[in-house]
Structure 1
Amino acid sequence: MPNLSVKLDEATRNRLLAVAADQGITPHAFMVKAIGAELAQAEAEAAFVARALAARAQVIATGQVIDGSAFADYLRCRVRGHPAPRPSAEAIAECVETRA
């Protein structure tokens, strides 16, 4: 496995040593765990942004959206365990006119 060197100031190094000792793991294991968690978070955020951009592109391409109030009502019913039909997409112009 390749090495990667990390330079830490003394205060951060001391914090690392103390926290790793409290968790009963080595400073190396703590850093590997922390880097893994941060990478997972960054990847999750990137995936979220990608889904949002794809949804935006779909709205632009189709001009179809689901009314937010209707979808909120649908979710409230579902959370309460009641059956509810999922709102259908409609032209964005219709949705905007309804709310104006």
Structure 2
Amino acid sequence: MPNLSVKLDEATRQRLQEAAARQGVTPHALMVKAIDRELERAAAHDAFVARALQARAQVEASGSAIEGPAFADYLRQRARGKAATRPAPQALLPRDDSDA
């Protein structure tokens, strides 16, 4: 397995050693675990952004969307177990790119 060196200031190194001792693991194991968690978080964030961009593209392609407050009211009614009619999509307003 390739080696990777991480330079830490003394205060951070001390905190790392103390945290590892509390968890009953080596500082190396704690760093590997922390890196793995951060990589998982970054991958989840990237997937979230990709889904958001895909949804945006679908909305732009369709030219319509459901108004946020109307959909929130619909979801609240459904969550309370009440019958509710799903709001109809509305045409998007023309985009004003002059503010960009």
Name the TM tier (shorter chain): 0.7 to 0.9
Matches within 5 A, 1:13-92: 13-92=13-92
Tell me how many residue pairs correspond in the alignment.
Answer: 93
Query: Aligned-pair distance for 1:78?
Result: 2.3
Structure 1 residue runs of 4 or more that deviate by more than 6 Å after TM superposition: none
**Counting helix residues as a fraction of each chain, which structure ranks higher?**
1
Separation in 2, partners of 1:20, 1:56: 43
* Aligned twin of 1:97: none
Q: Which runs of 5+ in 2 are unaligned?
A: 94-100
TM-score if structure 2 supplies the norm length? Answer: 0.81
RMSD between superposed Cα atoms in Å = 1.5
Separation in 2, partners of 1:25, 1:13: 15
Q: Which runs of 5+ in 1 are unaligned?
A: 94-100
